[in-house]
Structure formats: structure tokens, C-alpha cells
Amino acid sequence: MGPTTMSRHNPRLLRAVSLYLRALHYLAMAGVATLVVVAAMQVFFRYVVGESLFWSEELMRSLMVWIAFLSAGIAYSRGEMLGMRIVVDGLRPSLTAKIDIAGRVLIVIFLLVVAWYGWLFTMRTSEQEAVSLEISLGWLHAAIPVGCLLLAVHVAFADLFRSALPKEETSHSH
Amino acid sequence: MVWLFSVFAFTILMGIPVIFVLGISALAYFVLTGQTQYLLVIPQRMFAGVDQFILLAIPLFVLAGALMDTGGLTRRLLEFANAFVGRFRGGTSLTAIWGSFLFSGISGSAAADAAAMGSVLIPDMKKQGYDVNYAAALIAVASLMDPLIPPSITMIIYGALSGTSIAKLFIGGIVPGALLALSLTAYAVYVAHKRGYPRLAPPSLAQIGRLTLTALPVLFLPVLIVVGIRGGAFTATEAAAIAAIYALVVAAFWYRVLTWAHLRHALIATAVISSAIYLLIAMANIAAFVFALERLPQNIVSGIQQLTDNRVLIILMVNLALLVLGMFLDVAGVLILTVPALVGIGAAIGMDPVHLGVMVTFNTIIGFVHPPLGLCLFIVSGVAKSPIEKVTMQALPMIGIALALLMLIAFVPELVLFLPNLLVK
């Protein structure tokens, strides 16, 4: 975990990461905006037009799963995932730092295992088709390996990703 | 099972985020017991856990709350509350309680409530001579009304897990939420008299009228939600979609406070907050699978039945167990792990599912304001720039009030069931 212990990051690397984060933010925004539009359309068609859309429900569910797994990295870097810190924060700072690194190693191992089995799961189901959207189920299930892999990178290089987070977005937590 | 619990205890003590603790424990269980054939079940369970239509109500309600919270709408709501309760002794503390009550109707999460109320009111209360720790503690405990009063993210998760009607849960939470507001008001008045906190000059009738008019569109949202989902006209998800669109229209065209920057903030906040909830549900669903493999819910139910058939004792034990779990786990985590067993116990002692759901919701959200996890305590102590221990000390009597109220609704089902039975067909 070399890069995480450095206090300063290579400016080019930092720029690349913040570019990636910006893209992720726009994806998340576009995703939520689409979700609201489709949700509104579903209500409109059901209650005003009197004819239910057959594709909206599955689209919204799948979209939100993708948004959730893609935004997980941002959520982690913004400190939205809480743990019980009362014990470790009472220890010597050097010891706390070591425990935190060990904890992050465990998280990364876990996420990589899930990403790998998520990939196998995606491949196995890619022959099947989604119920109303005429695409392979693999496209829906791929949210898990992709999301877990990205999240693993966010956890492994926590410092780098935290300092590359856009300032305006970090100020508005919760 | 021993493996699961020891890895769980070890990783939680390490301070690893609860989301990962759940997943790591389940993975360790599969590997250490040699049941690696289940590893492929992990992604499947994660996907199945979050791929549910009802859960879409979460991002949509979060978005509605975030949009309503932009551009000083929170302040308007508080000024409205202040117009009525500010004139009494400890006026601003009463504004905190009733402002939070009103805010509950537009937001589904206690954390959003504590952050919004805290950032506006703690500086005000400090200026007026309130003990800053007391101010922070009051706002944290008052934020518990948020998950009780519709819309409520906690109740959506409970409803999705247990198959209980979300409309009935929402409406069943109104009376307990109002009782919490009333009992906190009594406590705040008592404290204000003892410590001599100030009363504010009452506004003129014209001012009250003007404040009511500006607050009206915000106050209408919870009415819209409750009216929409009672009688099953809308599903909770559809009500949430309408709430989000309504909030967008009101913020953009009625108040004209919505900027692109606000919209971007609201969309991102929605994605990030929902992501944390979705991942927690996904991970807890793996752990729930392990529990199901080990037949843990059934064993707990039969274990309790062997121990006692005293209804009162069982309800007390359930509440105690949930409070203890709430010290280590997030609300959604507690619910996912316990709901299968809880539904079994509820059926065994003949408890109404809606009554059970509201009681469990009330119980688990108390975890927001007690250490060591106490998310809302962390938020308000951050806003107040005061150590969490001091805020917690001030919160203790109010946590006691909340616990007393929990017992009241646990043993007087009518308090919960009266409204849903009256309103929902």
C-alpha cells in the first residue's frame, strides 16, 4: 500500500484521479435525474394516461443498483460508511494507524473476492435475458463486480482519493 | 456460528465500517467452515437484496428532502414554528423540537434532520445563552421524530423486509412521533425554567400570517404523501416520486431558490446517501443468508418460547436485545439481521405486524442518539464543535424519555394502531 502512506501525491496522478471522480459524479447525477424522470413517467402513465409502462419498473431497479454500486467509492471517500471507532481512537495514534491499515487490507481482500465471484455470477447469467428490458442479465449483474472493484481501489488508496474529491461536493455532507 | 461472531466482534472492534464488517464476517464463515460452494451465492444475495422496487422509495425521498432543504427552506420552516412556540420560556428550544417535527414530514432520515436543524439552530441557541451541549443534545434526540413521521426510510426498509404495509407503518408512526415531540417539549420547558432560558417577543398576527403562507407548500408535502398512500392509491415508491417532483417544482418555481449548484448537490447527496444504504442492505443480506443456513431465526424463536411464554417478558427481551444490537450496528443492519426472527416472535405472541414494526423502528432509531455509534450525536457535536461525551451527558435524560415512550407504545398497541385502523382500509 505504498501510495497511501505518502503525504503528497504526484500532481498528474491527482489530476487523473479527480478527472475520474468528476466523471463518476456526473454519472451519479445523470443516473438519479433519469431515475426521477422515469419514476414521474410511470406515475403519469398509470394515473393520467391509464396505461402502465411495462419497462419502467425494471429499468428503475437496475439503474438504482448501478448508481448505488458506482457511487459506493464516493460514499466511502466522503466518510459516509461509519464504523465503531470508540475503541481504536482511544489507542496510541501510531497503533491506530496500523490497525486502520490492517482493516483496509481486510476490506480490499473481501471486495476483490466479491468482485471475482461477482464476475463469475455475471458470466453465468449473461445468457439469460432480463424480464422486460431486452438485454442480457449480465449487464445488470455486472454492477456488483464493477462496483466492488472500484470501491476496492478507493479503499486501497484512501488518502489519494480523499484529497482528489471535488471540494464543493465534500462541503455538503448529509 | 462461533466463527461468524468472533470475526464480527474482532472486525467491529478494529473500527472497520459496519458495511464491511457484515460482509467480511460472512465471507470468513464460508471459508473457515469449508463451505466455499456458497461463495457464488454472495453476489447473488447482494443483488437480490437491493434489486427491489420498494427500495426505490429511498433515493426518491432522500432527493425530496435534499431539494426541500435547499435555499433556506429549513429556515422558513423554523421561523414558522418559532412564530407559535418562541414566545414561551425556552422558546428557541421549543422551536428546535417543533421545527424538527415539521422537517420530519419532508425528510426520511434522522441524520438529515439533525444536520439541517443543528446547523441553523445551534449557533442561534448559543447566542441566546443556551448551554451548547444541551442545544446539540436536544436537536439530536428531536431528530428521532424523523424516522417515525412519514416519510421514513427506516420504515421502508422494515416494510420491505417483513412484507408489512408501508402505508400502515407510516401512519402508525405519527402518534408515537407526536408523543415524542410533546414529551420533549415538557422536558425543554422544565429545563428552560430551571436554567432561565429566554422567551422571544411574539410576532404580530400579520407576521404569523405571512410566515404561514411561506411555509404552506413545505407543510403540504407530508399531507400529500399520507393522503396519497392511504387506501393504496399510490405505492410508497410512487408517493416518493411525486414527493421528489413536488419538491423540485416548489423549490424552483414557487420559492425560486433552486440553482443548478443546489440541484447538483441534491442529486449527488441522493446518490451517495442511497449508495451507503443500498450497500449496507446488500452486505447484510449475505449475513442474513448465513443466519438462514444456520436456522438462527427459528432457533431464536423456539429458544424464547422454551424460556418463557410470558408476553410482557418476551416484549421486554426483544427490546433489550435490539437496543444492545443497536450499539454495534446501523439501523438497516439491525433490521436485516433481526426481522426474520422478529416476525416469527411477533406471530408467536400474536402481536399486530404494524404495532411490531413501529415498536421495532422506534427501538432501533434510539441507537442514533446513544453511544458508541450514535450517528446523530456525532453530527450535532460536529456542528456544535463540542466533544461528544459532553453532548451525550446532556442527552441522557432525553434518551430516558425516549425509552419510557418506547415502553409505552410497546404495551399500549392502540397508540400505534388507532390511526392506521381509522385511515387505511
Task: Label residue B232 by pLDDT band (50, 70, 90).
Answer: low
pTM for the whole structure: 0.87
- Is the model's pLDDT at A162 over the cut of 60? yes
- Is the model's pLDDT at B59 over the cut of 60? yes
- Is the model's pLDDT at A88 over the cut of 90? no
pLDDT attached to residue B98: 93
Give the whole-angstrom CA distance, residue B139 versus residue B374: 13
What are the pLDDT digits (tens) for B174-198?
Answer: 999 999 999 999 999 999 999 999 9
pLDDT attached to residue A1: 40
Tell me the percentage of chain B whose pLDDT exceeds 90.
Answer: 42
Facing A118 at nearest CB: one of B43, B59, B244? B43
Segment among A140-154, B313-327, B329-343 with least mean pLDDT: B329-343
Place of cell 402481536: B351
Interface confidence, given as ipTM, is 0.90
Residue length of chain B: 425
- Is the model's pLDDT at B87 over the cut of 80? yes
Task: Residue B12: list chain A partners with CB under 8 A.
Answer: 83-84
pLDDT attached to residue A169: 45
Mutate: best of B46, B143, B235, B334, partner A, most A CBs <10 A: B46
Residue B225 grid cell? 404523501
**A/B interface, count of CB pairs below 8 Å:** 199
- Is the model's pLDDT at A8 over the cut of 80? no
- How close is the nearest chain A Cα to the Cα of B218, in Å? 19
- Is the model's pLDDT at B291 over the cut of 50? yes
What are the pLDDT digits (tens) for A35-44?
Answer: 999 999 988 8
Mean pLDDT of B339-358: 92
Task: Label residue B322 by pLDDT band (50, 70, 90).
Answer: very high
Dihedral sign for Cα atoms in the order B384, B385, B391, B392: positive
Give the whole-angstrom CA distance, residue B296 versus residue B118: 41
Facing A64 at nearest CB: one of B42, B56, B234? B56
What are the pLDDT digits (tens) for B239-276?
Answer: 888 889 988 888 888 888 888 888 998 999 999 989 99
- Is the model's pLDDT at A4 over the cut of 70? no
Facing B379 at nearest CB: one of A124, A168, A174? A174
Nearest CA to A21 among A98, A82, A77, A101? Answer: A77
- Is the model's pLDDT at B11 over the cut of 60? yes
Tell me which of A107 and B19 has the higher pLDDT: A107
Task: Label residue B36 by pLDDT band (50, 70, 90).
Answer: confident
Nearest CA to B299 among B341, B360, B351? Answer: B341
Beta bridge partners of A129: A136
Highest mean pLDDT among A1-10, B93-102, B229-238: B93-102
Distances (CA, A) of A126 to A113, A114, A136, B299, B353: 20, 18, 5, 38, 39
Distances (CA, A) of B53 to A43, B49, B141, B149: 14, 11, 31, 22
Mutate: best of A64, A70, A112, partner B, most B CBs <10 A: A64
Mutate: best of B67, B272, B277, partner A, most A CBs <10 A: B272
- Is the model's pLDDT at B398 over the cut of 80? yes
What are the pLDDT digits (tens) for B124-146?
Answer: 899 999 999 999 999 999 999 98
Tell me which of A167 and A84 has the higher pLDDT: A84
HEC string for chain A: CHHHHCCCCCHHHHHHHHHHHHHHHHHHHHHHHHHHHHHHHHHHHHHHHCCCCCCHHHHHHHHHHHHHHHHHHHHHHCCCCCCCCCCHHHCCHHHHHHHHHHHHHHHHHHHHHHHHHHHHHHHHHCCCECCCCCCEHHHHHCHHHHHHHHHHHHHHCHHHHHHHCCHHHHCCCC
What are the pLDDT digits (tens) for A97-125?
Answer: 999 999 999 999 999 999 999 999 999 98
